[in-house]
Structure 1
């Protein structure tokens, strides 16, 4: 495949890519939303989300060991379903969920940056700053793999250390008491269904591990290192998420967390460490979101390029020079720019979670039905992952139907349009062949 550099990404670089995507939108943009759905014990939801993600990651790790590829999930779907509408549609859902994640991270960047200037998060500057970050990510991605993995690995290490310092410092001040958050004034009513729905957002926070599978063909010794990188990335992210969630719940009431849900970490730093704590937290958030955008753009552009090379999705050059991968990089950024301008954090996260879970279920079914013997996968683990996804998706869509039905309608319409469009596109190509 053109413009791909085999063995150009080390194990450390792969872990950097995975954590670069995960520890960005995950803790900075979703923590407040998870708290709103699940209540005062919300830190525990991240543990459950990590467990569910672990079951899901099993299928991807098994596929990566057998079929290491720069196209990752796109190639996995081809192996399971052939060059079919299901393959093309599911792959596009994955790509869309990743682009949605980029807009989520971009708006998070804008929201946290404005905290330094005590400006309203509803300001037009939020999407404007997000657009600027996406353009920066585009420029970094055309600079080459070596710079990307070095930048994301170093920046990921810096932000992880910074976040751990914040979390441990916050917990040390309250005597390392892992108590549930105080309710505050008029806390929301939560139940089993909404708590299960909250798991969907934590899965979205962990799904950055797929960035590693999408770069499998460029990782050194992929049959050994892809699985290791996935395990390390999920484990590191879970520890960071859990400590930060407890740190925030120990210093803010549930009501305060929900009111500042788009910038809960920065809000927790104000009473804890004053102006210095705010600056420290926001700077770490900026580093985290920058690395998240760069790593995500890196992965999704390569996945779309492989789908284009395999003639599973339409591709137009529009007069642009360079390789297909460069073109898909442009498409990725443009779509993310539009989403960043049009949607708020809550709706972006909800749509991303729905599209990802639908695609994830298709991966598990494909492994169970068609490839479990070939990739030597334990069918019980694969079916458990599928069932978990189904329960979480059903709960999440039910909760959103009662609170924000429009985002469910938009998500369903998007899924229908993707599969319908792919059906006609592939049929037309077959007739022309």
Structure 2
């Protein structure tokens, strides 16, 4: 049910509902980790290994560097303009062109839709291995359930996502521990993990970096719930930094552990790569980790739904999209129309496109947005616009963010 004005302020103006500011630093960090740590590492390690072989961990490290520059740009912009549909607002502030801002906002929404679709497909692989149910039926069930959770309420849905995030982080720690301490070393010898400085292998590493980049997508989603964050000027930069540091450590440790313990011929291209670590484990261990993997991948669908619905809501609220997308539920004060639209789009993409294509498209779209956002910050800094209470980064940060994003985008298109 959509909101209709039923109350008045000062006797004549309708009291429009507003988004509820209830996200603290721990909740926002868990939100960022929930969308970052998920399908990327749980599903795509096998695909990066197929491209980069034993040097797959280097691809994750390079992706972290590319993301790092832009993450700091986002941290400054989010404190300058703490609003929903953040990227759209940043580009509007940088260039003063509503049409360009609308395009960037639509790209952000598209990246979330495509990313959530890839995650839904990845979740169905793990769940299918656990239940034997058809992939299409599992995708429908996953998307419908996560859509209802996203509509339920921002605090409730983020708390659910936060709990699931803790479970999926525990799952990665379990993988690392089992691979390093309890399983046979059937993978790559440790000395072979270090790539020579020269050679054709770097082409594979760079190609794998585009896939690994998908695993880091998530920190930028935090800025799109800025209107629901307590004290966003302090909370958002810290949450972005914590998310990126924790995710990078987990990814590198997990990737190295898997490479050491799983034979390369089994790992390369696997759609459920982390389960291979437990190939010789007791059935109870295999079943328990498969359940964790399902929960971990499903979590990303929920968080992307939350993000995209807020982007659509924010753009509609500023007149960049039809006004009905800005309607809030009277019961949950969440964007009901936008959430339903997002769920339907994700369902369509999940059922008809392969996960590799979805992951590649997501990376390309997000890299295009990163270029736009970094250029917007450069323009804002060149004007030396005063703002005494925002997080600030050196001018070279968005410059490097622009060049590294362009380089990776160009690589993905070759």
TM score, norm. by length of structure 1:
0.82
Return the alpha-carbon distance in structure 1 between the equivalents of residues 173 and 16 of structure 2: 40
Residue 143 in 1 paired to residue 159 in 2?
no
Contact 2:87–2:104 (8 Å) recurs in 1: no
Residue 132 in 1 paired to residue 144 in 2?
no
Residue 39 in 1 paired to residue 53 in 2?
yes
Cα offset, 1:314, TM superposition: 3.8
Structure 1: 5+ residue stretches without partners: 184-188, 399-433
> In the alignment, which residue of structure 2 is the partner of 1:105?
119
CA RMSD of aligned residues (A): 2.6
Return the alpha-carbon distance in structure 2 between the equivalents of residues 285 and 291 of structure 1: 10
For 2:244, which of 234, 246, 257 is the aligned residue? 234
> In the alignment, which residue of structure 2 is the partner of 1:95?
109
Return the alpha-carbon distance in structure 1 between the equivalents of residues 69 and 328 of structure 2: 41
Cα offset, 1:298, TM superposition: 0.9
For 1:312, which of 312, 320, 345 is the aligned residue? 320
Return the alpha-carbon distance in structure 2 between the equivalents of residues 90 and 277 of structure 1: 45
Residue 14 in 1 paired to residue 28 in 2?
yes
The one-character-per-residue Cα deviations of 1:186-231 (angstroms, maximum 9, x if unpaired) are xxx9632332232222222112011211111211111111011011
Partner-residue secondary structure (3-state), 1:347: helix
Return the alpha-carbon distance in structure 2 between the equivalents of residues 70 and 384 of structure 1: 26
Cα offset, 1:267, TM superposition: 2.3
Q: CA 1:40–1:149 in structure 2 vs 1: closer, same or farther (change >3 Å)?
A: same
Cα offset, 1:151, TM superposition: 1.1
Q: CA 1:110–1:36 in structure 2 vs 1: closer, same or farther (change >3 Å)?
A: same
Residue 389 in 1 paired to residue 398 in 2?
no
Contact 1:181–1:252 (8 Å) recurs in 2: no
The one-character-per-residue Cα deviations of 1:364-391 (angstroms, maximum 9, x if unpaired) are 1111123453364422111111111111
Q: CA 1:159–1:214 in structure 2 vs 1: closer, same or farther (change >3 Å)?
A: same
Cα offset, 1:95, TM superposition: 0.9
> In the alignment, which residue of structure 1 is the partner of 2:3?
none
The one-character-per-residue Cα deviations of 1:57-92 (angstroms, maximum 9, x if unpaired) are 011000011111133222222212334221111111
Q: Number of aligned residue pairs: give it.
A: 385
The one-character-per-residue Cα deviations of 1:119-168 (angstroms, maximum 9, x if unpaired) are 5xxx8x22321221111111111211221122112221122123202211
TM score, norm. by length of structure 2:
0.86
Q: CA 1:329–1:79 in structure 2 vs 1: closer, same or farther (change >3 Å)?
A: same
Cα offset, 1:343, TM superposition: 0.5
For 1:22-421, list aligned pairs within 5 A.
22-117=36-131, 125-173=134-182, 179=189, 191-260=201-270, 262-271=271-280, 273-314=281-322, 325-371=335-381, 373-374=384-385, 376-398=392-414
Moved over 6 A (4+): 175-178, 319-324
More deviation, 25-34/220-229 = 25-34
Contact 1:197–1:393 (8 Å) recurs in 2: no
Q: CA 1:162–1:29 in structure 2 vs 1: closer, same or farther (change >3 Å)?
A: closer
